[in-house]
Structure 1
């Protein structure tokens, strides 16, 4: 029977008589089949045969109502198990053409009636189906979103004490309660979610690479980096080092290519990614990020350049400030006089100086003591992250790129960091690799420094010299353009 269906699908003519013959055969097969509803394999086979019947009847518009009616007549019987009934209803709803509302109402009434007695493993499926059916019937799905939230909370009882998956279930429940509009449960669940995060211990796991060829390549790469860095620092002056960090191809935009024809075993696994605030994102693409790996490799080189440069005296607070004052657009005076005589605008060199000075003070202490004091980088990172957004807005204004938008009610709103980087005028000037690097540093595409700093999500241990090094490289790269303040500049 399955072969007949496939032949019809592959046939160039798709002769309607053969299709009708197949439909009649499916009707006969399903009518005369007899098996226990406890036999999951045969129930599944029944469902697949019905799907074939349904698709064929829909395709040639032959006995499609009878096909649906045959299944409806089985809903109140015990011929099929609950999951098979759900699967067929879900298939009809998703693939049916011009299905009458009476059928949707029948599915809705049946599903709503039995959900109180369903086993846990199929309850979630029926509730999701009821949400879809409510929408088909132009009814509010709030009741079922709330029940889905309750279902997620109930699953916590099946977990081990203080398990990290508590946060997963609380997050899912919170989303359902939001859709349901239940304010009291939203507040209650949000509190429980925050409490559960405190118990999550995300430990780092180190894996030793056993592949000798890989280790040889890695060692060779490191030797080349050390040699290249030594030549740069020993032969070059401060200007050469800063220009290298500004223009060298340290970060290449990550391009992900997905082959839809091949499915990895990882596609069958649900991956949950925890951010610095222990929020959960169900996103398989974040489980392995090749761009992040590239950043880690480049960071080793940048760190080596700074350590050698500071030891040689060629990299210092004074030399960096001299470079910014002579080689970047930050040196320009962006202040202006208002009609009332008041001076507005910003002197960026003055604002950048405290952050960079704090960094070099702590960096020199760390190098001398062979230690790393995270607390010493808090002020430097907090200041430079927030100043970078200001620099990007200043840069955009100088290019004549849009930095504010007018809402329908007439109020002004600043354009988001992401949108600033997506502006055509900005992209025409800043290389694509640097755009990707900025987004990785400051937005949810990567480290999300702007959000984490602005909302105080970072604890002391999240601060490091490495983050500051990346920020300084970003600062150098954004400053490497010939722009000047616009005349008659006005504030936002």
Structure 2
């Protein structure tokens, strides 16, 4: 059993940013002390993510009151910074941001590594927060600038100094007038740094060199030359391992980069030597050729050919109905795959490895026991979507069978998307349709299909963003109509709307859709597959991540929703 008194005593001497979970478990506190203990534990997590996480419910008044009390009670500046920073993000109140800056200026020097050559693990986050807050509230800029320059001009090692310079670049901390001073510092550091730090040092030097008015060229040439020398220094003589065919391929990459850097530095002799090395290396490159025979089942080809002919020569409604309930497209189900899967372990598991999956941000986690099942599901599904469904949709758009006006008419007249819904807004009942929530997303989708067919640049952001988010809202209404749970209660008894993962687990969903439909929804929107809903909702996608496949998958999910049959005569939407 732990007590708040013990926790406070420990925190008063804390001088690092390590989590408290390993020392103080939330469950170890008495129920009456748990709300305060929870806040203390969360204070050492990534506060920014906590505030943004819609699953993390906070009582603002309680947090502000509690942390105000703690700021007055503690003498530890590290705690004052964390408490005030938490409140400033939660309330967007600059008064707390300023108090956090005061505490940061007082504490940062104590967080720097004791061994001056070590990486500044503890100080890094504090410096980053200080720079972010300074940029936001424009408070104590001279004091903070003097503090950072004090570190840069001290006898700390290159790791600490480069972390400060990198963070300053990311946060726009230093004014342009300091650029030359920073460039000179980067030049001095270059002789000290090792390994990948050298490349980072040059990149920082190049960035700040570009800020120097009228004198940038000589400094930029210096760093470009250094980068070229680094690439040439990584060339390996193939004679040292004549049977290693990978060496020439790696050398090609290094010599190409070296040529580009020397070209930018205006160093023709060095550029020519790099090109000579490139040409000589080219002679030693070996490409292995493998013959892979791909057998095509003629019956499958004939089947889909006949299906395409039937659907494209018929009415649009027949095509859309088949896409809405794609039994004839032979979409997979987990049950079908299980019947075909071997009961033995996969090769990866036999070798003692664990399957891992990596998200769009490069974070990995255990794939889980059904990884092979989901992998086979994805391969089966995407073969059909890529090779048949998308081609059929594009053909329908190309021959004008599928247009936005025709699609709109079908949604409104032939499906549940034309049903009048009742929403309550500010005590007033407002009527609308589900199609009104997706119309501009569907219109954007058809527009991008047309642009693709015309060979023009496409942008799939609008259809993916709109349709994926609206899918969740419409599904919530459908679950609510069948008496399913569309809200959830947080730890503090606050009530919020159920999220997509919650909705897909609702038992009543099996009264509305087939099991295969739910599996498809999970594959498209959750971490079991493409995870589109989370990537869109949390803004993890960048423009390059949006594509025709993502847009088509979301569109197919919307079409499946048209199979819904209302249970009530009047649907009262659950989002009020």
**Alignment correspondent of 1:233:** 312
Determine whether 1:276 maps to 2:363. Answer: no
Change (3 A) 1:327 1:407: same
Partner residue of 2:295 out of 198, 210, 215: 215
**Alignment correspondent of 2:382:** 296
**Alignment correspondent of 1:428:** 511
Return the TM-score normalized by structure 2. Answer: 0.46
Partner residue of 1:314 out of 387, 391, 401: 401
Shift of residue 281, structure 1, vs aligned partner: 2.0
Show structure 2 runs of 5+ residues with no match: 1-21, 29-120, 130-162, 171-195, 201-287
Determine whether 1:479 maps to 2:562. Answer: yes
**Alignment correspondent of 2:547:** 464
**Alignment correspondent of 2:449:** 363
CA distance, structure 2, for counterparts of residue 247 and residue 278 of structure 1: 35
| Within-5 A mapping of 1:379-398 | 379-398=462-481
Is the contact made by 1:442 and 1:448 (CA closer than 8 Å) also made in structure 2? Answer: yes
Change (3 A) 1:186 1:286: farther
**Alignment correspondent of 1:4:** none
Root mean square deviation of aligned Cα:
3.8
Change (3 A) 1:271 1:392: same
CA distance, structure 1, for counterparts of residue 550 and residue 452 of structure 2: 15
CA distance, structure 2, for counterparts of residue 407 and residue 382 of structure 1: 27
Shift of residue 252, structure 1, vs aligned partner: 2.2
Show structure 1 runs of 5+ residues with no match: 1-130, 139-182, 200-206
Change (3 A) 1:307 1:399: same
Shift of residue 469, structure 1, vs aligned partner: 1.4
SS of structure 2 residue aligned to 1:343 = strand
SS of structure 2 residue aligned to 1:335 = strand
Change (3 A) 1:280 1:390: same
CA distance, structure 2, for counterparts of residue 297 and residue 209 of structure 1: 23
Partner residue of 2:410 out of 323, 328, 341: 323
**Alignment correspondent of 1:350:** 436
Partner residue of 1:438 out of 521, 533, 541: 521
| Larger RCO (alpha carbons 8 Å, 6+ apart) | 1
> Which stretch shows the higher mean deviation, 244-253 or 348-357?
244-253
SS of structure 2 residue aligned to 1:405 = strand
Give the length in aligned residue pairs: 298
Is the contact made by 1:254 and 1:290 (CA closer than 8 Å) also made in structure 2? Answer: no
CA distance, structure 2, for counterparts of residue 491 and residue 225 of structure 1: 42
Deviations along 1:349-383, one digit per CA (max 9) or x if unpaired, are 222110111111121121022x5x35x21111111
Deviations along 1:329-361, one digit per CA (max 9) or x if unpaired, are 111121356795x33465322221101111111
CA distance, structure 2, for counterparts of residue 208 and residue 467 of structure 1: 33
Determine whether 1:416 maps to 2:499. Answer: yes
Shift of residue 431, structure 1, vs aligned partner: 0.2
Shift of residue 438, structure 1, vs aligned partner: 0.2
CA distance, structure 1, for counterparts of residue 480 and residue 523 of structure 2: 23
Return the TM-score normalized by structure 1. Answer: 0.53
